[in-house]
Structure 1
Amino acid sequence: MRRPATALLLAAVLALAATGCVSLPETGPVVETDGSRTTPESTGVKYDPLPPLPDASRSEIVKGFLDAMTAVPIQTTSAAEFLTPEARASWRPERETITYGDRSPAIDGSEVVSVRMLDGANRFDSRGAWRGSLGGSDLDLRFGLELEQGEWRISDAPDALVVPESWFESRFRRLSLSFFDPSARILVPEPVFVANDGALATRLVEGLLDGPGADMGTSSRSFFPAGARLGDLSVPVSSDGVADVSLSDVGQQPPESERLMVVQLAATLRQVVGIRSVRVTVDGELVQPPGSDEGRFPVGLGEEFDPAVPGASAIVFGVRDGRLVAGIPEALDPVTGLFGTGEIALRSAAVSLDGSTAAGVTTSGSVVVAPVGAGDVEPRGILDRGADLLEPAWDFTDRIWLVDRRADGARVRYYEDGRLRSLDVPGITGETVRSFLVSRDGSRLVAVLARPEGDELVVSRIRHRPRGDVRGATEAQVILGAASEAQTIKDIAWRSPTSLAVLTGVAGELWEVRSVAVDGAPTSLESIANLNGPVRSLVGSPVDGQSLLVLAPDLALDLSGPVAREIEFGEGQRPRSLEYVG
């Protein structure tokens, strides 16, 4: 029988939002999940902009130019009609995209016509990667104009596609370009926004050929040589799902490099609906996969390099009564190794991706590594005592990551090749860190920082040498939260290799679970569920299909479906913590 108080909590949640499916657990938080989590697609409505009108004023020409960039299907030919012949020849709108919430009327000054972008503006590079929000004078678009045969035309325009944010969101898809880590052992995805039209496959391949962004430093690499380009103007896709990629200016490459180029193509193009295989031509020569004379590579090629590491253990691990437990959330049993005996009392623990080894933080503050199962391998201590250690993390190399919250701020360390090393992470080291994660591919460290004005979610790129060992980290960038967006971030968990689930406070015991991309693009924010009641933590995995859980005091809630599923813990079975591997 459901408690009357729960029904009252349900009514409070429904007052916040009128849509979505609602689950009603008997204990713990009431949940409202968002039933519309798809990326907006093109509406299918065509828009053919008007050409420049006779005797149009300077301001009207600029307005017409900006309006013409919202043509559907996407094209810039109409906008180019507003330019002088010289400006039309040199205009390069493909270099970047600028989005805005609203814009001011065009104001005709003494020398230029200016337009102010309002309600937030953002910049995306030629590949579609977000390059930050615009502010200050960068919000002003300035246009020079000249008379051409008695009519005003634009002589100086920004080399960018400048469009409303709503138009951009409905016609661009959030996807990823697949590069490799410096050791070429795993793929590293880079989020991009790509126009969702018939040229989607072409744009993705062009983005790959552009290579990793300069800001990625030594976080990733591409096996396409500099200067490689599409030999044809497009990547045609046949009716039976074969994408034909013709590459030029590749030059002679080692067979392994050629194979890894194809892996990058397959991993990137598998995101396009309808593409089942890829046929690659390099400088006129068909690349032949072993055992085939048709030259087709399945888009599943190279799954062993998947950054989500889908072959990792799917078992859930947790700490209960100081012991490491494992299984499914409904049935967690102590592991058969040392950590399941109670001989070492654990405060928290993390398990390697293959599920074989655990790094445990003891109640005395030391860190011990031991097999999950029974065996002859002796446990080893890697840190005698920390001040206030957060739950560890593992990446695909079996590197263990630690964050110790000390009186003078956080210290980041990692255990590799039998040694514990410190890593200076600008913007995280020395700060007050609430929680942290490391991506399975080892390329990103994400942390929640406590600030006086509200919590911040930040990400740093981890830099590696060619053999794979860590060489440094980039300055952490804020991807959620700021002085103008004060909030409490209760916990974070991976949702995919390029996105996180974030548990944020709304008011009192009202909570929201949001999806946030690792690049911090504002257009990537998405509400997953609203909750009303006591909550403790999030449990998530980057592997598609594995459940996203919210751990409450007496139960867990599975948010993976349109209706949250309640998971009850038996008598004395409630875990202190719960996590997937990694």
Structure 2
Amino acid sequence: MGADRGGNGVRGRRPVRVMVYAGCGALLLAGCASMPDNGDLRGVESTPRQDSQVRVYAMPPHPGASAAEIVQGFLEALTSDDAKYETAGKYLTDGARKAWDPYRSTTVLADAPNPVPSEAKDGSRDVAFRLSGSKVAKVDVRHAYEPDAGEYNGSVHLTRLKSNKQWRIDSLPQGVLMGTSDFQRNYMSVNKYFYASNGTSGSGRPLRTVADPVYVRAQVDPMTQIVRALLKGPTRWLDPVVRSSFPSGTELKNSDVSLAPDDRNRVTVPLNDKADRVGLPKCRQMAAQLLLTLQDLTPTGVDEVEFQKSDGTQLCVLNKSQAEGVASHGTGEHPGYQYFIDHEQRLVRMPRENSDKKPEPVPGALGEGGKKLRAAAVSRDEGTAAGVSADGRNLYVGSLVSGGSLGEPVVQSQGRTADDRLTTPSWDARGDLWVADRDPKNPRLLLLQKGAGEPIVVGASQLDGRIEAVRVAADGVRIALIVEKDGKSSLQIGRIQRSGPDDPRGAFVFDPRSVAPQLEEVTAMSWAGDSRLVVVGSEKGAVQQMRYVQVDGSTPLGTSPSALANVKEIAASEDEQLPLVAHSETDGIVRLSAGEQWQKVVQDGTAPVYPG
């Protein structure tokens, strides 16, 4: 909205929106014909969100503004950095201002809403404007992003005040409405962190955390916003499989609290009385959650968190190094190797960083060539591997120890062709192994506890189609699936829920949701961070492309991986600093490090994977 506004709706004098570039000495007036003679000049629509020096301020309505100008001014004000939407409220009547809740939701349209006036009689004291556009997404009251589609239709109604003859809006939709470019400038994605409900810290091991991405306003005290969001709990989709260490009802002590690191890079958080009785172990878990949540809000992260009781006394303090012993997350894992299948159909490995060292067979039977393989997966501790036979029929599990043997297959498929048999397997954080059998007569998602025993058929009745690929997240409670139906394949994220103590063997995938709906054909994917995946696919009628997507369906800011032709498989690590590895029909096994181009590893190789 605002800068990307267009169409054939209201025209006339455009309300002024002021952009201030701190430190560059330039002040821009949206819609002005003149320009300053120095400074960095950019239109609003092209301003990248990551430029933290840009602030946008809306202007209040001017005396005698027409009804059309009031509507335009209000829509502009919604896209400003006005913390409490006070300027937007000046375009409303007193009653509408009291009834309007801008925090209820944010509706994102492809372009800014196009207001079109309804017919009104000359001299009328009432007029309505229809707002329309193509829906892209909605951000709910808990800051959760959800893709949306279809046409948006809303309206605002204006009346001419008796007291001063000025036009004001007296009826409007709840929440905030804006176009995509304004949303990208106004909002930023931040991961909240919660603990996996089925995770335990046994043997002194840290608790497993799960990233819960949300969107907050980038220039409106984002640290305080995200802390409030964390205290409210997880988003609805994730809530059934995670827990928070904060007691129910915990909030910041006062509504006017503003949080920021001090000169020691410590954030002090005053809490209400709901947290007064929290013991030290629980308080340390709370602090670890918060430290992980705040890690990307400053260039260096936050070094230390202090919680205060309602009376101002200290509840506990935790720093980053101490938090590592309390909570773990995906990017905290650092695999030693990258793996793939070589020209002899063996499992081989190479150092995770770029080096001149050539790939070598892994220790044990899967690297000795006794069984020819088409795909493999390596456990997250890199002590065990699973391999799918060259014909796709059998799944073997063996230790990565010299001299180890394989034994009988742990899963067998009865599919008629290799493409109707087993997918590449995937290990979760509990050490369990997942694989899909694509046999059209008996399609199944299977789980083997600790990679052994009788396979468990995972309940996945909500999936509509056949599973073509499986990757479990490091947190163990989310699963990425490529699902094929009617010749189209989509990327879906499901929530893994385990049965209770009475049935510890059961597992289910609930509420799968499409996270790359614009791609009609998804051919490969891999987790590439706590809440991010890298995806290979194509839109209808378009060429193959590679891009990053968030688990909530949004597109992260930043560049996509550089182009690579004929990609068949892709592998990434939850540690976002490690290079991508891909199998290209043209170039073989290649890898891409940050700031570099794709580099060939070997010509003859397939099925690259990181541990997991």
Aligned to 1:327: 350
Structure 1 residue 564, shift from structure 2 partner: 0.9
Task: Show the 5 A alignment for 1:211-222.
Answer: 211-222=233-244
Asked if 1:366 is matched to 2:381, the reply is no
Aligned counterparts of 2:315 and 2:487: Cα–Cα separation in 1 = 58
Matches within 5 A, 1:451-462: 451-452=485-486, 454-462=488-496
Query: Would you say the 8 A contact 1:266–1:299 is kept in 2?
Result: no
- 1:404 touches 1:412 (CA, 8 Å); kept in 2? yes
Q: 1:108 to 1:338 in 2, by over 3 A?
A: same
Offset, 1:191? 1.2
What's the counterpart of residue 339 of structure 1? Answer: 366
Rounded Cα–Cα distance in structure 1 between residues aligned with 2:407 and 2:157: 68
- Deviation per CA, 1:387-417: give whole Å up to 9, x if none: 3000100011001111110114741111126
Residue 268 (structure 1) aligns with: 293
What does 1:479-558 correspond to in 2, within 5 Å?
Answer: 479-481=515-517, 486=520, 488-505=521-538, 511-521=544-554, 527-531=560-564, 533-553=565-585, 554-558=587-591
Whether 2:439 is the aligned partner of 1:415: answer: no
Query: Residue type of the partner of 2:609?
Result: E
The answer as to 2:231 corresponding to 1:209 is yes
Pairwise CA distance, 1:209: 0.9
Match of 1:191 among 213, 235, 240: 213
Give the conservation status (yes or no) of the 8 Å contact 2:283–2:315.
no
Report the Cα offset of residue 563 of structure 1: 2.9
Number of the residue aligned with 1:104: 114
Equivalent residue letter for 1:475: D
How big is each residue's C-alpha offset from its partner over 1:231-251, in whole Å with a ceiling of 9 and x where there is no partner? 132223213321111111225
Q: Does 1:67 align with 2:76?
A: yes
Conserved 8 A contact 2:536-2:567:
no
The structural deviation recorded for 1:371 is 0.5
* Per-residue Cα deviation, 1:520-551 (whole angstroms, up to 9, x for no partner): 125669532223x4433212111121111222
Question: What is the one-letter code of the residue matched to 2:259?
Answer: V
Q: Paired residue for 1:115?
A: 130
Aligned counterparts, 1:273-284, within 5 A: 273=298, 274=300, 275-284=302-311
- Alpha-carbon deviations, 1:245-275, whole Å to 9, x = none? 1111225334433221111111101222153
Give the structure 2 partner of residue 391 of structure 1: 424
Worse-matched range after superposition: 192-201 or 304-313: 304-313
Equivalent position amino acid for 2:154 in 1: D
What is the total number of aligned residue pairs between the two structures?
A: 531
Q: Secondary structure at the match of 1:230?
A: coil
Aligned AA (1:221): R
- TM-aligned CA deviation for residue 284 of structure 1: 3.3
- Counterpart of 1:26? none
Q: Write the letter of the residue equivalent to 1:98.
A: T
> In structure 1, what is the Cα distance between the partners aligned to 2:64 and 2:92?
15
Is the partner of 2:463 in helix, strand or coil?
A: coil
Match of 2:514 in 1: 478
- Measured in 2, the distance between the counterparts of 1:85 and 1:351 equals 63
- 1:322-363 deviations in whole A, cap 9, x for unaligned? 322223385222222122223333232111000001122224
- Structure-2 change in CA distance of 1:526 and 1:425 (3 Å): farther
Partner of 1:578: 608
Q: Which deviates further from its counterpart, 461-470 or 411-420?
A: 461-470
Q: Percent identity?
A: 23
Pick aligned residue for 1:247 from 271, 280, 290: 271
Which of 48-57 and 436-445 deviates more?
48-57
Match for residue 38 of structure 2?
Answer: none
Answer yes or no: is the 8 Å Cα contact 1:514–1:529 preserved in 2.
no
Structure-2 change in CA distance of 1:408 and 1:39 (3 Å): farther
Name the aligned partner's letter for residue 358 of structure 2: A
Q: 1:235 aligned to 246, 250, 259, which one?
A: 259
Residues 73/558 of structure 1: CA separation in 2 closer, same or farther (3 Å cut): farther
Which residue in the other structure is 1:566 paired with? 599
Give the structure 2 partner of residue 20 of structure 1.
none
Provide closer, same or farther for how the CA distance between residues 203 and 508 of structure 1 changes in structure 2, counting only shifts above 3 A: closer
In structure 1, C-alpha distance between the alignment counterparts of 2:52 and 2:606, rounded to whole Å: 47
Q: Is the 8 A contact 2:81 2:220 kept in 1?
A: no
Q: Structure 1 residue 92 and structure 2 residue 101: aligned?
A: yes
Matched with 1:139 is: 153
TM-score, structure 1 normalization? 0.82
Counterpart in the other structure of 2:15: none
Q: 1:60 to 1:220 in 2, by over 3 A?
A: same
Structure 2 counterpart of 1:172:
187
Work out the CA distance in 1 between the residues paired with 2:427 and 2:455.
14
What displacement does 1:562 show?
2.8
Letter in 2 for 1:577: A
1:259 corresponds in structure 2 to 284
2:161 partner SS: strand
Q: What code does the residue aligned with 1:41 have? A: Q
1:454/1:114 Cα in 2 relative to 1: closer, same or farther (>3 Å)?
A: farther
> Aligned-pair distance for 1:81?
0.9
Question: Quick check: 2:570–2:582 contact (8 Å CA) kept in 1?
Answer: yes
* Residue range with higher mean Cα deviation, 464-473 or 347-356: 464-473
CA distance in 1, matches of 2:195, 2:327: 9
Residues 209, 217 of structure 1: alpha-carbon distance in 2 compared, 3 angstrom cutoff:
closer
State the secondary structure of the residue aligned to 2:562: strand
Q: Which has the higher contact order (CA 8 A, sep 6+)?
A: 1
Q: 1:536 to 1:397 in 2, by over 3 A?
A: same
What's the RMSD between the two structures over aligned residues?
Answer: 3.1
Provide the rounded CA distance (Å) in 2 between the counterparts of 1:240 and 1:228. 26
CA drift at 1:168: 1.9
- With over 3 angstroms needed to count, the CA separation of the structure-2 counterparts of 1:210 and 1:64, relative to structure 1, is same
The aligned amino acid for 1:324 is: L
Give, in whole Å, the separation in 1 of the partners of 2:536 and 2:350.
24
Q: Is the alpha carbon distance of 1:545 and 1:255 closer, same or farther for their aligned partners in structure 2, counting shifts above 3 Å?
A: same
Residue of structure 2 equivalent to 1:157: 172
> Does structure 2 retain, via aligned residues, the 8 Å contact 1:146–1:155?
no
Secondary structure of the 1:214 match is coil
82-91 vs 392-401, which moves further = 82-91
Is 1:443 aligned to residue 466 of structure 2?
A: no
